Structures are given as structure tokens and as C-alpha cells.
Amino acid sequence: MKTVLATGGLILNEPLLWEKGKRGRRGMDVPASDVPAAKIDPEFMGVGPDFPDLSEVDIVRHYTRLSQWNFGVDTGMYPLGSCTMKYNPKINDKIAATPEIAASHPMLPDRLCQGTLKIMYELQGYLATITGLDAVSLQPAAGAHGELTGMLIFSAYHKGRGAARTKILIPDTAHGTNPASAALCGLHPVPVQSGPDGILDPEVIARLMDQETAGIMVTNPNTLGLFEENIKEVSRIVHAGGGLVYGDGANMNAIMGVADLKKCGLDIVHLNLHKTFSTPHGGGGPGAGPVCVVDHLKKYLPVPRVVKDDKGYRLEYNRPDSVGRVHAFHGNFGILIRAYSYIRCMGAENLKKASQLAVLNANYIKEKLKGDLHLPYDRPCMHECVFSDQKQHEFKVSTLDMAKRLMDFGYHPPTIYFPLVVSGAIMIEPTETESKDDLDLFIEAFKEIVREARENPEILHEAPHLCKVKRLDETAAARHPCLTG
């Protein structure tokens, strides 16, 4: 390998702020108050908080150093499979921070926030058009929250028909949160084994579908990175049995602008705006998982929804069949603005191109690495490709060893040991935002690691070597976590 992205460097240790603080340091001057001091009984005051005294430079360096411990998509390629860690254009942050938008209070009457309501109304329309479905709720705060909302709609639909449905079909290639979301709504998950080609077999669905089954939760493309080619037949079988078809839209980045999900037979789909529509991802911050439905399920969507009439835009609450409110106010509004900005900046043609490039990049990596890593399903993939460590077993090198070693080369490891249907899985999703130059560097790094596994496996067993923190005892970390920094 000619070029190594990562080198040793200035990775600084950083104590807690309470350890850095010194009495008398000050980072700001507070103006003198012109409000007379109120007399408060000391008994009600208690002991004040023990905030450290810090200068401005103390604070700036502290958070800058902490940021240098992290790796994010702004640092480099983040090939985390099934998560679509694409670059987030900064223009979307700028739009979301527009004062007229950011300062709009969620309890303003409709007549005083027509602009923000219009944005929400148009976003609902864009997401409906992109998926091919008929109506949208922007309330759910994340993907799993969208799944839960979808399952609430499943339950409301069957209850409204007087049907007692207690089971839900969930393929082994679905996302891991699907069974929990269904179980929270009183549905018992029934596992569905995928076929030898990695996709659903309609005959298996037909055997499992009965009068107690509410429907199926399908991830398409699935977690093997493969398109469910039999989805229309699967949907027909489920519908014939009185069930509904739920689509986990976490992998929409592969088919955005390409597939019409309504024509595929899907009744409900959630979208991860932080995956497909380039809003911030992870870190414990706000997210968004809008839910799209076909027309006959529209009445069950959470309230309020933005509608338009001859008086303008308004929030509609009067929906007696609704599953109710699933999030305070109208969802995480700033995230919705970022997605709206992304869609408007890209336009229909470039949204489709993003999906096409994501698929191209994943297939490029698959073809370049399949001689070095075992490829369980050697067929065209969608947005991600799944390898395994089978070829490295003879050298006693595991998927975990190779993932840890990648960190020394400057890359966040891909998703490992998932999906569970592939033993020792290595799931790589490059997204459309990586150039061929960056992909080639990543491929070179992985090839070098495979060579090391063959010639000097001890290097991998002790990796990472260059990171601030070396190989952790993951079992001990899970059982006895240190939460103090």
C-alpha cells in the first residue's frame, strides 16, 4: 500500500473540567443586573452547584480536544453498513438555522406560522412522491419510532375491522429493531428464513400467513444489501390473507427515485431522514422517521398533520381514527428542515442519481474485495455488500481483528457480525458521497490487512496500535462500564 490515511499524531489527553478548573479563572463577564435583588430565605436556596472556574481558552481547548477523539463522517469515510453514514451538506445546517425558522415557537397559532407550515406540508408531499405512497406523518422521531408508529397503525387497522391478529412475520434479513417495535404493540414476531439467494421465498410466506397474522415487516433492500425481487408476490400473498405489508425504509438510499413502493405492494413505510435525506446521524441528538401510508390507512396517521384549505395551511387534529400523538408538537422540526433543504437542493434527478451512485460504489467495493474476502452472495448488490472472515479462519484472524486494524489505517470499521444470517459478517456501505479515489484508498487498506492476516496475524490480534485507546476488554466494558471519562 502506497498511501496510509492515518499516522501517529497529537492525540491529547484531557482531564475532567472539574480537574482543570482553578478558583478565580473566568471566561466571560456578566453585565451588572439592573433588577433589584430579591430577598430569599437561605433555607430555600440550598447548596449551589459546584461549577468549575474556567477561562475561555480552557473551554475551547477542552471541547476541541474531545472532538479530536471522535471519528465522524466529516473526518473521513464511515462505511457503516445498513446505516447510510453519508456526508451532510452544510448548506442544510445554514437553512435550518435561519432565524425566522429556528426561532418559530411550536405553539404559535396557525395564522402566524404559515411559512413553516408550508414547509412541512411540502415535505409531506415530497416524501409521498418519493415513496409512491399517499399520505405522510412527520411526527416520529427516529427509525424505530417510525416502526412503532407503523405497528400502531397495523393494530388500529385490524381492530377497526374486528380482526384479532396476534402475529407478525419478520424476515431474518430485517433490521434488528423490527421485532421489538411489533412486540410493543402486542404482536408476536414470527421469524422468516430467507432463501438460499438471500431474499424471501414466496412459498415460505404462503405457509406462514394465516388468519392470526397481521402482516409482514420487510426491509428492502434487505440487510444483505440485496433487493427483494419477490416483493410484489410476497405483498400479494399477505394482502390475500387480510394482512398489511410494512416497509422498513432505512435502506431507501439505494432505491430513492428508482422504486415505487406502492407498486411493490407496501402499505406503510418509514423513512430515516438521517440516512437517506442527509440530516445529522446519531450521537444521541434529535432524529426523524416519517411514516408514509397508502390512502386507506391515512385516517390512522398521528395527529396533528399539516393540511391546506382555502384559508391557507393549518394543523388538523380532528381525526377520530388516528393512533394519536406520538411526539410532542410536530416532530423534530430542525431535522425536517434539513431534509427539506436537501430535497430542494438535489431535485428529482439528483436524488435518483444519489441512489445510483450509492449502488455503483457498493458494487465496486464488492468486486474489488471479493478475491480477498469471502462473499456469501456473489450477485449484484444494492447500497451495501456483505463479506465474511471465512478465508481468514486458517490464519486465526477474525472479523473483529480486521475491523480493529482498519482503525490504524484511518477508517471507521464497517458494521460487523450483522446480519446474523452471515457468520463473521463484514457489512460495508460506502454511500454515494465517497469518490473513487477515496474508495480505492479504502480498498487498498483492506487488501493490506488481508495480507497481514496471512503473513503476520499477530499484528491484527493486538490492533488497533495507533488509536488513543487500544484493544478493549469488551466483555468487561459491558459489565462494568466506566462513565467518568
Give the per-residue pLDDT at 29.
83
pLDDT mean values, one per 10 residues, the chain (485 residues): 67 86 87 88 80 93 89 90 92 94 92 96 98 97 94 96 94 92 94 96 97 97 96 98 96 96 98 92 78 98 95 94 91 93 97 98 98 97 98 97 95 95 97 96 97 97 90 87 73
- The cell for 28 is 466571560
Determine the length of the chain: 485
pLDDT at 3: 67
Q: Does this chain's domain 91-345 share its CATH topology with 354-475? A: no
The phi, psi pair for 455, rounded to 5°, reads: -100, -30
State the CATH architecture for 91-345: 3-Layer(aba) Sandwich (3.40)
Question: Is 354-475 CATH 1.10.238.10?
Answer: no
- pLDDT, tens only, 283-341: 666 789 999 999 999 999 999 999 999 999 999 999 999 999 999 878 889 999 999 99
CA distances from 295 to 216, 232, 239, 259, 364 (A): 19, 18, 15, 18, 39
Looking at residue 61, its amino acid is R
DSSP one-letter string for 235-292: HHHHHHTT-EEEEEETTGGGTTTT--TTTTT-SEEEE-HHHHS-----TT------EE
Q: What are phi and psi of 228, to 5 degrees?
A: -75, 90
Q: Where are the alpha helices (DSSP H) in 97-190?
A: 99-102, 114-131, 143-160, 178-183
Task: Tell me which DSSP letter residue 87 carries.
Answer: -
Give the three cell numbers for residue 40.
Answer: 430569599
Instruction: For 451-462, write each residue's pLDDT tens digit.
Output: 999 999 999 999
Q: How far is CA 473 from CA 52, 264, 404, 476, in A?
A: 33, 46, 13, 5
Q: Which of 409, 422, 408, 382 is nearest to 466 (CA)?
A: 408
Residue 429 exposure: Cα atoms within 13 Å on the Cβ side = 30
- Cell output for 300: 390512522
What residue ranges do the domains of the chain occupy?
A: 91-345, 354-475
Report which of 303, 334, 340 is spatially closest to residue 137, judged by C-alpha positions: 303
Query: What's the confidence (pLDDT) of residue 210?
Result: 95
